[in-house]
Chain A
Amino acid sequence: MPLLEVENLRVAFHTRNGIVRAVNDVSFSLEKGGTLGVVGESGSGKSVTGYAMMGLIPQPPGRIEGGRAIFGGVDLLHASKAELNAIRGRKIAMIFQDPMTSLNPFMRVGDQIMEPLRIHGKITSDAARKKALDALAEVGVQDPSARLLAYPHELSGGMRQRVMIAMALITNPALLIADEPTTALDVTVQAQVLELIRKMQQNHGTAVIFITHDLGVVSGFCDQVQVMYAGRIVESASVSDIFERPLHPYNRALQKSIPAFQPKGRDLYTIPGAPPDLSRPIAGCSFAPRCEFATDACRKGDLTLTEVAPAHGTSCRRVQRGEITLD
């Protein structure tokens, strides 16, 4: 039985400008200790998917329109506040994009790291402090005893992200949801933080959902990858398949846009057009208007994520029917 099983997750935001269908029929599962990369551009629904797991969708305007997310026998989407609070921070932890704003500026670092311990079960303050020190040392914070007394503004961005990781993993959760944890950091610090998450994952056997827009980050980190576009999973495969045998035009276009993969001196490849407005109904494939392979048939009917190779799904009907091959 997988650690987390998400079926047909649908999330919509009821705004003044209409209903924005942010996540549509997203299904995936994650095994114990596995790593899943969720890749997509801004507005693709990747973060909303993660937020929905944690009960962080502001309601209203957001609404979970359907689906299930089974974790340890509990449906995270329909659990009560008390049930969720018993899971959040203890069995599932989350780290956020911006380390500058994800720590409370009025609380000492030590108090924040210890907070999950204090909430989830009785622990003496000495024991909590000891654990916090160990956690800080483990994430490579120098002089942890002094850092416990520091306020967040006294730490650098990379240091704060380390603190966040220490805080997320202090209760030894089974699942870590990392929402673009390296996006706001310097490139050098990015590598360190990635390395750290990987190390922590190996030490503690934590499963990780890694939400990012950076394919490069995914390639070095995840076992499984799913590419999202306009609130849907368009391709889902192992990391090697995603890169070596792309089966969706969007994934292929994304990879063509990575500067490092292109010859020097040439103009960078860009995908023409812009992502669709999710508050309008989309007929057929949402990527069709920007797709070089699109035909009129692509703009009609429903899409399904279908496996065309072992454990390799795509939502592109032309690929499914074998009409086109992507290299």
Chain B
Amino acid sequence: MTVDSTLPAPAIVEVEPGHSLWQDAWARLRKNRLAVASGVLLLVMACACLIGPIFSQDYAEQNLSTYATPPSAEHWLGTDTAGRDLLSRILIGGRVSFSVGLCATAVALLIGVTYGTIAGFYGGRVDMVMMRIVDIIYAFPFTIFVILLMSLFGRNFLLLFAAIGAVEWLTMARIVRGQVLTLRRMEFIEAAIATGVPRRRIILRHLIPNVLGPIIVYTTLTIPAIMLLEAFLSFLGLGVPPPMASWGVLIDDGRKVMEEFWWLITFPGLALSLTLFALNFLGDGLRDALDPKASKD
């Protein structure tokens, strides 16, 4: 190695400033082709669902002359038993499924991570009380809870988010709390305390990054679970009201007639499966990207 004496303090210049965990993770994620492809696919799907319905045919207009026609040039994915264009219904249904999946997950993440971190970090009596509350809510029958909400306040989109979010954060809180509890006793946390690092900073800079892996994995499992939950609620008649559709509703409708009209279950099913696959691959990629130990290959 030669040292160029004309360069002042070369050692300092070499160090790139602001290389945060996130920038590192992003650099690593970009190298993971499967994760990138999944991300692009999700983005395309989301954009299609967002913009698509503006250009596509009416998703609600019933037309008996186009009763359950197979895919054709006019109706790319065919029509359903009410003569409605399936593609438009998948696109509009995607809006519901995506937004329920993402919003409810976001709610679950926010509450679950905060709650679990606080319980795990403070421990003792705080932890005890907080986790018993979780146990109590856990024990509450979810379906009855939703039916109660729906019948009290009517079928409301926001309520659906709230109801699903209110249930899904429980597991997240438990997972995070368990992780934090073990991390809390690690020497690097004690070292941080002994360095005079304030609590807030310890939680944000030392604890949360270390629990990101499990959080991300669980999140990628939660989004599909919530999408399926929405489908289940729609099946019970508690989800989105017709003629509005969601992927869950479409799959359920298609299931009833799948022996005669294969496309009615195939395409919505494909849309949901592709999304879930992509979410899982992306989640996997994210987890690896955020773990510095997985970086050297």
Q: Mark interface residues in A121-144 (1 if CB within 8 Å of B CB, else 0).
A: 000011001100100000000001
A93 to B198 Cα, complex, angstroms? 15
In B119-164, the 8 Å CB interface with A consists of 123-125
Interchain CB contact (< 8 A) of A55 among B193, B201, B292: B193
**Cβ A153 vs Cβ B293 within 8 A:** yes
**Cβ A86 vs Cβ B196 within 8 A:** yes
Which chain B positions have C-beta within 8 A of A103?
A: 188, 191
- In the complex, which range does the number of interface residues on chain B fall in? 35 or more
**Cβ A119 vs Cβ B191 within 8 A:** no
Which chain A positions have C-beta within 8 A of B186?
A: 101
A116 to B17 Cα, complex, angstroms? 18
Q: Which residue of A lies closest to B197 (CB)?
A: A119
In A281-322, the 8 Å CB interface with B consists of none
Residues of A in contact (CB 8 Å), total 47
**Cβ A89 vs Cβ B187 within 8 A:** no
**Cβ A101 vs Cβ B187 within 8 A:** yes
Number of A-B contacts (CB under 8 A): 106
**Cβ B210 vs Cβ A105 within 8 A:** yes
In the assembled complex, B297 has its CB within 8 A of some CB on chain A:
no
In the assembled complex, B241 has its CB within 8 A of some CB on chain A:
no
Which chain A positions have C-beta within 8 A of B14?
A: 145-146
- Shortest CB-to-CB span from A69 to chain B, Å, is 15
Q: Which residue of B lies closest to A60 (CB)?
A: B124
**Cβ B123 vs Cβ A58 within 8 A:** yes
**Cβ A56 vs Cβ B193 within 8 A:** yes
- Shortest CB-to-CB span from B210 to chain A, Å, is 5
In B225-282, the 8 Å CB interface with A consists of none
Q: Mark interface residues in A166-210 (1 if CB within 8 Å of B CB, else 0).
A: 010000000000000000000000000000000000000000000
A61 to B185 Cα, complex, angstroms? 13
Which chain A positions have C-beta within 8 A of B10?
A: 145
A97 to B199 Cα, complex, angstroms? 23
In the assembled complex, A20 has its CB within 8 A of some CB on chain B:
no
In B1-38, the 8 Å CB interface with A consists of 9-12, 14-17, 19, 21
A106 to B179 Cα, complex, angstroms? 15
Instruction: Point out residues on B near A: beta carbons under 8 Å.
Output: 9-12, 14-17, 19, 21, 123-125, 186-188, 190-199, 201, 205-206, 209-210, 212, 290, 292-293, 295-296
Q: What would 25 A/B residue contacts be, using CB atoms closer than 8 Å?
A: A55-B193, A56-B193, A56-B194, A58-B123, A84-B196, A88-B194, A88-B196, A89-B195, A93-B195, A96-B190, A101-B188, A102-B187, A102-B190, A104-B210, A105-B293, A106-B21, A108-B19, A115-B195, A120-B196, A129-B12, A133-B12, A144-B11, A145-B11, A149-B15, A151-B293
